[in-house]
Chains A and B, each alone.
Chain A
């Protein structure tokens, strides 16, 4: 059995609004994520996904309940460095995450803050840029990169710290199709080749199809959870939860209703093509 990396027990979080009222963002939520898992977190705007992401690396601390990362509780202040070393965050807007004037300095930023030695820093920069496919850009100015390249740079900066888990909050929302593909390929290869645990928040249902497990959030709670083929096979009313079934499983379902023999749980274009053409 794989070990549990993220352990959330009865977690509740409230925001305090300007009129002093509180807004519950996460309500009594429990969840365990295993080392090496790829989780897709979906849910409508305001369902608590981003709050949950920020709770995972102790940017926010639960009002009630407890979160442990690799055994370290986020509530304990002395643990927070250990937690942030293990859980790296990537946000939606690439322009807000870049701090330095060259690509390699940007990767070095986090490492310098951790007090890593210079020779080690140089080695990790090379390694990280290699892994996201940006080696050729080490000396470039980050603002001249494309959107997809900037996001991959953000990922490089995070993986240089050798985290066990990547939490990505809509990392592809602002990218063009090529940029999206680049970033998705990078995230998946981190997961498969390096066994890095991934928590990927997205509004693109197609992106959730590739996950080991899909978690559907609604009003701060987990409304549904399971393998993509279960979540998207039409048994859950996703529309009611502000979401939708992606085109391929939706079409498969519709064709089945028309009497065609197509197995349940088809998510992929090529699979559907081969069933239709066999």
Chain B
């Protein structure tokens, strides 16, 4: 198993009037190469969970195991771990701090001891992946870039570490629809061709239904549901009760089904919906 979370509990500011139980007794497994979606309303513990996966937070109780090793045992090299399981924060533009884009993207690999030609190669790889031209951008100040460009530089800085897993915490908020689609397609490619494990935290049910192989659903610090999107999004009432919802097309298919039609409801794309409606009508007639 790649990542194992065992009975993880996290309490912020324990013993003070501000004590918050962010996670309570969470256990889950993630296999190498999986595409995982993490959903739940604001404050449900999603961000706390993902910060545990690369050792940014220490459990109040419970354990995190990475490839059979306890993350908080003395043997773990945390810095190395954070380059293997890399986290793109919710406001990636706040992650930038260097004088030039090159230095910013090089920061991670440089910390891993990469230098010279290989360092440059990695910076090129990262920038190329986010479609920022090396010559145009590498010597610019990250602070002179637009919000969207800053996000891409932050993403390049993650990819230049050649991570085995990436954790993305709400990466597409405030991207326009075409930029968002484009970004998601690249993540998908990274997962499929680059064999990178992806852990994707989001509020967008439509996107995650199409992308994730497995979903973890959080409510009030607890893992309340897990399974494939097709199973999870059958539970409309449960999801709505915890502040979430289901993709609009799934909702449509369920409503048609409730009117007595024989039709599949595990539908997340317009193309599949169209095909299924046509099929159901033909069979209904025939």
Q: What residues make up the interface of A, taking CB atoms closer than 8 Å to B?
A: 18, 43-46, 92, 146-148, 170, 173-180, 203, 205-206, 239, 242-244, 246-248, 250-251, 254-255, 258, 260, 269-270, 272-273, 276-277
Measured CB to CB, the nearest residue on chain A to B245 is: A177
Cβ–Cβ contact A277 & B259, under 8 A: yes
Cβ–Cβ contact A255 & B248, under 8 A: no
Give bound CA distance, A32 to B110, whole Å. Answer: 55
Give bound CA distance, A255 to B249, whole Å. Answer: 14
Measured CB to CB, the nearest residue on chain B to A149 is: B42
Partner of A179, one of B42, B176, B177, B277: B42
A248-B248 in contact given A146-B41, A179-B41, A205-B177 (Cβ < 8 Å): yes
Q: What residues make up the interface of B, taking CB atoms closer than 8 Å to A?
A: 40-43, 144, 146-148, 170, 173-181, 203, 205-206, 243-245, 247-249, 251-252, 255-256, 259-261, 270-271, 273-274, 277-278, 281
Cβ–Cβ contact A174 & B173, under 8 A: yes
Cβ–Cβ contact B175 & A203, under 8 A: yes
A247-B41 in contact given A255-B277, A277-B261 (Cβ < 8 Å): no
A269-B176 in contact given A177-B205, A177-B243, A254-B274 (Cβ < 8 Å): no
Cβ–Cβ contact B176 & A43, under 8 A: yes
Measured CB to CB, the nearest residue on chain B to A238 is: B177
21 CB < 8 A contacts A-B: A44-B176, A44-B179, A45-B147, A46-B146, A173-B173, A176-B40, A177-B203, A177-B243, A180-B203, A205-B177, A242-B179, A243-B177, A247-B249, A251-B249, A251-B273, A255-B277, A255-B278, A269-B255, A270-B255, A273-B259, A277-B260
Residues of A within 8 A of B173 (CB): 173-174
Cβ–Cβ contact B251 & A176, under 8 A: no
Partner of A258, one of B176, B177, B261, B274: B274
Give bound CA distance, A91 to B11, whole Å. Answer: 31
Measured CB to CB, the nearest residue on chain B to A203 is: B176
B203 CB to nearest chain A CB (Å): 5
17 new A-B contacts, CB < 8 A, other than A203-B176, A258-B278, are A45-B146, A147-B42, A174-B170, A174-B173, A177-B205, A178-B244, A180-B203, A203-B177, A243-B178, A244-B177, A244-B178, A246-B248, A247-B273, A248-B248, A251-B277, A269-B255, A272-B252
Measured CB to CB, the nearest residue on chain B to A278 is: B259
A239-B178 in contact given A46-B146, A277-B261 (Cβ < 8 Å): yes
